Chain A
């Protein structure tokens, strides 16, 4: 991956000035490259990774992974039906996968009821959906490479030769 993208993927708050220092490129070159990536859609969004379980006043949301089996459509394959599914805002991610089912869909809702209702009233009855299997998430340990637990203090000495 391009070095600028690598740095931004780790830290979206880093400034172009800092990227220039880290990569040894000129500030102008960094700014141009970032603009280009934004325009091309390579950079989709700058956002903050939250560990929602630690938000005390936050209302915890419920997430479910749903295995969806579908009948592909002539000419458009899986894409047509996938689009109908991922267009719902309740759907947080949607992947076409190999194996015993076709789409792996991640759905988020206020509580088990709302998620269940979404599956029962929107997802399952959809034409070409042959079946679903729903797994509610009980606990998140690691997400996108981030371990969702407060790390232990490192044991390194403050100073050594």
Chain B
């Protein structure tokens, strides 16, 4: 069968073979997982089950249940001082992944450029290319804590760009931005007239300062598409539920694509999400506390055993350099997996400048992390 040129040209996931290897192995200690190791809190699961018993099995409105949209807007107002209209400025998506795709497709004309951080979450460059856009990389590395600056954006804009994609705290590096850094980014965005697609799904997992949503900064609400979801803060990855907030015009455009391609998010997931927002946030705070401790432990151990690693501000990832030991992250990860049964993700998965790094997820029990660090240590000493 003849496959679309665009799809064929999409960067193949060069590490697919490595992934297959990991998925087929037993008794692996995995530090390669991009989701919480907590199960969705029981009160949320119980509500999902109850909704099925009550017969909530239909479609919902394209934008998602109004009750959920109202609760999300109320939550954003209370938590961050963000004010969005649940009717016109909010859309329930199937995870933030769908939100990213919709946002990019809603704003891009063929050939238009988008600034994408490198490294970034794997789908960023792909959704831009699928939408016919061109990726302009914003390179970051260990020396700047994997953060780009306002002047990096300014330089990259010299060739013209319509939008900036940002994810903070960041998957895969854990880097996040302070309010001051965001203010500088906001000023450049204003001067360069950039639309910002801001993926803040890890916002609750910010450790050293309070998370500032970009759209709360002066002049930003009209140019930011705010994306968030339930996966990380409520350990609800499998429910596939996210939301997008932004100016009514862009939300209407995104809803148009969503209604033709997705129709609506699952009603069971929406019912569960309502319960998640209704509960207190003790579960969230407990998870965060646990992650903070693991972060300290992992960063300190990695540096001890010779893998240079910065202290990331959020999420549950660290992104250490393996350059002292190898210049090929896929080979390194494969060898470590085969010899020590420890899985992590090669840095090349996340960009073109990340050879020589690996992503380690500390969303794993303390006992696992401890054992994994011992195994990596003994591997490096060979």
Contact = CB atoms under 8 A, between A and B. Distances in A.
Contact of A154 (B32, B37, B171, B366): B37
A157 B23 contact: yes
Interface residues of B, number: 28
Interface stretch (A18-26, A52-60, A99-107, A132-140): A18-26
A58 B342 CA distance: 37
B72 to A, nearest CB: 25
A11 B30 CA distance: 22
B296 A159 contact: no
Interface in A130-161: 154, 156-161
Nearest to A24: B296
A39 B316 CA distance: 37
Given A21-B300, A21-B301, A154-B37, A159 B293 contact: no
A21 B305 CA distance: 14
A18 B28 CA distance: 23
Contact of B33 (A7, A18, A21, A160): A160
A158 B35 CA distance: 10
A161 B30 contact: no
Most chain B beta carbons < 10 A, residue from A154, A156, A159: A159
Contact of B25 (A6, A158, A160, A161): A158
Contacts of A24: 296
B30 A158 contact: yes
Contacts of A161: 34, 121-123, 171, 345, 349
A23 B122 contact: no
B246 to A, nearest CB: 25
B33 A159 contact: yes
A159 B370 contact: no
Contact of A7 (B30, B122, B293): B293
B332 interface: no
Interface residues of A, number: 16
A82 B301 CA distance: 49
B293 A23 contact: yes
Contacts of A3: 293
B148 interface: no
A158 B301 contact: no
Interface string A17-61: 010011110000000000000000000000000000000000000
A119 B25 CA distance: 56
Nearest to B22: A159
A109 B274 CA distance: 48
A23 B296 contact: yes
B315 interface: no
Contacts of A158: 22-23, 25, 28, 30, 32-33, 343
Contact of A156 (B19, B37, B293): B37
A118 B48 CA distance: 48
A8 B219 CA distance: 48
Interface string B39-56: 100000000000000000
A133 B66 CA distance: 52
A146 to B, nearest CB: 15
B37 A159 contact: no
B39 A159 contact: no
A156 B22 contact: no
Given A159-B19, A159-B22, A161-B171, A21 B349 contact: no
Interface of A: 3, 6-7, 11, 18, 21-24, 154, 156-161
7 contacts: A21-B300, A21-B301, A157-B23, A159-B30, A159-B33, A160-B32, A160-B35
**Smallest CB-CB A-B distances: 5 pairs:** A159-B32, A22-B293, A158-B30, A159-B22, A160-B34
Given A22-B296, A154-B39, A161-B349, 14 more contacts: A3-B293, A18-B297, A23-B293, A154-B37, A156-B37, A157-B23, A158-B25, A158-B28, A158-B32, A159-B33, A160-B33, A161-B122, A161-B123, A161-B345
